[in-house]
Structures are given as C-alpha cells and as structure tokens.
C-alpha cells in the first residue's frame, strides 16, 4: 500500500509541475536564442 500511495503522490506532483514546465522551457529557449543572436551581431 505504501508503494501505491507513493506512486499516486509522485504522479500527481509530476502533473502539477508539468503545467509550469512548458513556460519554463519556452522562457529558457527564448533566453538562449537572444543570447546567441546577440553574439552573432
């Protein structure tokens, strides 16, 4: 039972963080692009 409860809690925690994950990735990618663009210019 403990393992099952842990898995459910872990998957819920993952889904909760997954909502914010795309925004972080987009911001990180834009930041990386702007840095590489400024280096090119």
State pLDDT tens for residues 9-32. 666 666 666 666 666 677 777 777
pLDDT confidence of residue 27:
75
Domain total for the chain?
A: 1
Q: Does residue 2 fall inside a structural domain?
A: yes
Q: Does residue 29 fall inside a structural domain?
A: yes
Q: Does residue 18 fall inside a structural domain?
A: yes
| Domain span holding position 3 | 1-33
pLDDT confidence of residue 35:
63
d(CA 3, CA 23) in angstroms, rounded, equals 31
Q: Does residue 39 fall inside a structural domain?
A: no
pLDDT confidence of residue 31:
74
Q: Does residue 40 fall inside a structural domain?
A: no
Residue matched to tokens 């909760």: 16
Q: Does residue 38 fall inside a structural domain?
A: no
């Amino acid at each position: 039972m403990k393992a099952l409860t842990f898995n459910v809690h872990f998957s819920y925690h993952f889904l909760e963080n997954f909502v914010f994950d795309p925004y972080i990735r987009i911001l990180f990618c834009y930041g990386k692009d702007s840095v590489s663009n400024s280096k090119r210019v």
